[in-house]
Chain A
């Protein structure tokens, strides 16, 4: 695709466009967080660009970088048939200062997407009409798509019952181990079907059931 969009952005915003590249045919501009909204408004309103569809917004976490959280906006222009990716970086190692201007006023479709990025990555959007969690429940602590959030951590709203509390055998499988979801090596799976941790809790795999 042509470089027209990136050229126009560089011309209009100069040094606020931190870097640009076109890997895999995706025009990408990394912009300073200060011009986040100005860039968006420009892309939306410039008649030659006319990016009328907000395709996607997401956060990508690089905990070893500073600022660590990359917010990635994908745009599409239905009339021009062209795409662009705008990125900015916010937040220090504790996600302090991870704030951006909300773009809901530019594209109403970003309402839910900004809520999602807030929910999953922990970026707060200034001026969002209704910034609350969307996928996780309100009591949830932390932001799961930050790389530092442990993948196997659970936050049940109701504590798991123990066998004693239930008073009956629960016949449940063991809770997911730390390695669940990894490609190989389920450690400690018993060969005879009984659990080593809680004897008799799991029914034998060879029993008829």
Chain B
């Protein structure tokens, strides 16, 4: 692989990479506003300027610059190297680049930052970006001083509603055009553009349109400052109180990698942010996925139910035992869930096939839905492939309904309360449900045991491409809920069996022995199975 030198460090690059991208791949951050690894480079923020050192014997590329001599008070012509934008300059073999080590670059960063802050309002206290704002970060890294301008700043429109999800603040905008480029390049819906010139520049929506569609949240995410904010997160939380856990979106079978931001003090999830993963979602997520963090709280089952009434978990377990007393294994069915993790499903399969000795395994999940060619998958279940891996013979829920109607099955233990079809026929069987979210099976169940959602325990999910991905725990369990594998272990104990697992690590080590399943991936990682 060809290499170049950045501040004396050797950086390898793929032919065609720009300097900033090659450095980015090595984990070196050249300061930038407008450049984004997933978008084209317009080179308009000028923050990533670097000095390209001339080859031996060559003349340096230089400019004549007027500089004030403070002693005489006169301007003098001085030669300075012409700095190049690292986001536009392709790396070349043997090139020597100076960034942090060049006094001209350091000066340029300082001055660009000063320009960007010239008209910036004193908004940090009320700005949602505060705490993760590039302007703040780069001020401390590259400017550190007060600006010299004393004039009244230029005022621009604030609080402009761009659409059902996004609000725009012109004064905070640094005109990086990332949002414009995202909408045209990734979402293929060029609805944003720029108008006016100079310091009156502002972002605007195409006349007669508003910023809508399936990828509007991404414009806020790519915004390096607080110019675009989402109505969903606006004024809800301050980011420095949020902690983050590497998570996997549960919205569909794509399995986008995400950061789940939550506040440990209120045990509440506040938002999803995409987590970069070239193999799955690159840098993006869809609106539905971004909002699916709400399912950590909405529609949850957090109490045990016996006959539809809230009851202590102990009571519910007792009820389950009496329901299952003396039942022949052939008339018991277990239902795995395409929305629960591999570990939960493994525990349920273990309970059904090993402890109960039943051979009737079914799988449930949500019905299919909208799809597109960017990220959104038709299958709205996060772990359908995973269930297929650990229980290849599992039959669809439809088959169970027929079996119950024909009285071949009288007792059912189900993981998850979802159903792709109307499950009313299940009412004919005694149904025990272990579920994190309320669904069509809950009203039919004799006993419901509360399980934690994906946000409250670590779990492995297999996406449509067969990649095994680990989502980490963020929140503490809500209400009486426990991780499903624990709840299933307690159910097994209540039914008079000795479960072979009580911890995630035990399940994971046993999963490794299961045919068709490999070693679990490290936290937050994606493994192609």
Contacts and interface: CB of A to CB of B under 8 A. Distances in A.
B266 A178 contact: yes
A185 B263 CA distance: 12
B264 to A, nearest CB: 8
A185 B241 contact: yes
A62 to B, nearest CB: 13
A182 B503 contact: no
Interface residues of B, number: 10
Contacts of B265: 152, 178-179, 182
A93 B503 contact: yes
Given A152-B265, A179-B265, A182-B265, A64 B505 contact: no
Contacts of A93: 503-505
A50 interface: no
A21 to B, nearest CB: 22
A182 B503 CA distance: 33
B238 A92 contact: no
Interface in B197-234: none
B241 A94 contact: no
B38 interface: no
Contacts, number: 21
Interface size band for A: 10 to 19
Interface in B490-520: 503-505
A94 B238 contact: no
Contact of A184 (B238, B266, B504): B238
Contacts of B427: none
B503 A150 contact: no
A184 B237 CA distance: 11
B238 A150 contact: no
A150 B266 contact: no
A150 B266 CA distance: 11
Interface in A84-104: 92-94
Given A150-B476, A184-B238, A94 B503 contact: yes
Interface string B231-250: 00000001011000000000
A105 to B, nearest CB: 34
A36 B469 CA distance: 38
Given A64-B523, A92-B505, A150-B476, A182 B266 contact: no
Interface in A2-25: none
B255 to A, nearest CB: 22
Contacts of A182: 241, 265
Contacts of A92: 505
Contacts of A152: 265
A146 to B, nearest CB: 14
A182 B523 CA distance: 28
Contacts of A94: 503
5 contacts: A64-B523, A94-B503, A178-B265, A182-B265, A184-B238
Q: Top 5 A-B pairs ranked by shortest CB distance?
A: A178-B265, A179-B265, A178-B266, A185-B238, A182-B241
Interface of A: 64, 92-94, 150, 152, 178-179, 182-185
